Amino acid sequence: MVKKVKKRVTTETVDDDGNKKTVVKEHAAAEVKKHKKQSSGDKKMTAREREELLIENFVGLQSAMTNMSIKFGGLSDNISKLLQIFEESAKNFVSGGKSDDAEMLQKIDSLLNQNKTIAKGLVLMEGKLRGRNEEPQMVPNVARNVESSRSPQPLPRI
């Protein structure tokens, strides 16, 4: 009894999502030779087949170009809308943003002062946790400021 020789062909492909796909095909030795002969015969196309292939490729290219031009039109419309929004916001900022700026700056200053107070308190707590009883050298006025403000101040509303 004669065993048929099988040839294993493994093909790996990657799709658009990045997933790998592995295809394993087993062929008998005679089939492999047959496919090799056919593939070498596929290289020679008739003029008619070549024309049809070129026409198909050209139609596909035209379709892709049409889709791209439609999408570029939509993109330019979106950019125009975005530009209008920026122009309107710039006009509003120039025309009437002065009175709100003072309030906003005052609130930011109060937040900054609160952050400084919290940072100083954390530095003092860190010093005591490490066993230091003296005040840190970086912030000499911290102990006086923290001890003098015994009741916490309310946070400003924004």
String of b and e for 70-85 (b: at least 16 CB within 10 Å)? eeeeeeeeeeeeeeee
Q: What is the pLDDT of residue 142?
A: 47
- pLDDT, the chain, mean: 76
Please report, in angstroms and rounded to a whole number, the separation of the first and last CA atoms in the chain.
91
Q: What is the pLDDT of residue 146?
A: 47
The domain segmentation of the chain, as residue ranges, is 1-12+21-44, 45-82, 100-148
What 3-state class would DSSP assign to 13?
strand
Could you list the pLDDT tens digit for every one of the 158 residues in the chain? Answer: 556 666 777 777 767 677 777 777 776 655 545 555 555 555 688 999 999 999 999 999 999 999 999 999 999 999 999 999 999 988 887 887 566 677 888 889 999 999 999 999 888 888 888 875 555 555 545 444 544 545 666 776 76
DSSP state of 130: T
Measured distance CA(110)–CA(82) in Å, rounded:
35
- Percent of the chain topping pLDDT 90: 34
CB 11 within 8 Å of CB 25:
yes
